[in-house]
A and B are shown apart, each in its own frame.
Chain A
């Protein structure tokens, strides 16, 4: 059947045409295209690698920054804490000093009061003594006539003195 019988003329032409096309395309088309594709792929790979590298570097820098920041924060906290401690210390000291002073003042006042009190008491005692003497004098002068009344009076005085 003609359909499956190869035709020698067509085979020759096909061989010629195909080989010519193959060699033309190979020399002027496939070589440049494939090498361009290859170069571009290398380029892309290179730039990808470079980008990755840059990213890594960025990450490193960021981490460094983060570390520095952390450090600064810690330092700041320390300083703040110190300051706060100092302040509370000062307040504490001031408080202590004040209480010392006040207690001393109170003590002083108390001592002064005691002294005053003693002085006042002795004065009162002296006054009482003189007053008693005076009274005694007056009584003696008026009522030494009556014996009985004398006695009662003396007893009364003594009682009074005792009470005092």
Chain B
């Protein structure tokens, strides 16, 4: 069960980070001169999402190994 939970958490985060990447590449294509700022914002947003996903993974692993 824990592993399924971890997988679901990763699914959400993967979608989220994919959307960030999509948005960032599109913005860079539109405004290449702002690439540096967009990248920073992208990494920060990705890190925040990843943080949420990692909570899920850790909780999932804990639940999975608790049995």
Which residues on the B side are within 8 Å of A1 (C-beta)? 61-62, 65-66
Chain A contact-residue range equals under 10
- If over half of B's interface residues share one DSSP class (helix, strand or loop), that class is named, otherwise mixed; here it is helix
Task: With CB as the reference atom, state the residue of chain A lying closest to B59.
Answer: A4
A4 to B54, alpha carbons, bound, how many Å? 12
B58 at the interface (CB under 8 A from A): yes
- If over half of A's interface residues share one DSSP class (helix, strand or loop), that class is named, otherwise mixed; here it is helix
CB distance from B52 to the nearest CB of A (A): 17
Which residues on the A side are within 8 Å of B61 (C-beta)? 1, 3
CB distance from A71 to the nearest CB of B (A): 47
A128 to B43, alpha carbons, bound, how many Å? 141
Task: With CB as the reference atom, state the residue of chain A lying closest to B66.
Answer: A1
A1 to B65, alpha carbons, bound, how many Å? 7
* A1-46 at interface with B (beta carbon < 8 Å): 1, 3-4
* B7-47 at interface with A (beta carbon < 8 Å): none
A3 to B62, alpha carbons, bound, how many Å? 9
CB distance from A115 to the nearest CB of B (A): 106
A4 to B62, alpha carbons, bound, how many Å? 8
CB distance from A2 to the nearest CB of B (A): 9
A4 to B65, alpha carbons, bound, how many Å? 12
Which residues on the A side are within 8 Å of B65 (C-beta)? 1
Task: With CB as the reference atom, state the residue of chain A lying closest to B62.
Answer: A1
CB distance from B26 to the nearest CB of A (A): 35
CB distance from A101 to the nearest CB of B (A): 87
A153 to B61, alpha carbons, bound, how many Å? 176
CB distance from A82 to the nearest CB of B (A): 61
CB distance from A6 to the nearest CB of B (A): 13
Which residues on the B side are within 8 Å of A4 (C-beta)? 58, 62
For the complex of A and B, the 7 pairs showing the least CB-CB separation, nearest first, are A1-B65, A1-B62, A4-B58, A4-B62, A1-B66, A1-B61, A3-B61
Can you name 7 A-B pairs with beta carbons within 8 Å? A1-B61, A1-B62, A1-B65, A1-B66, A3-B61, A4-B58, A4-B62
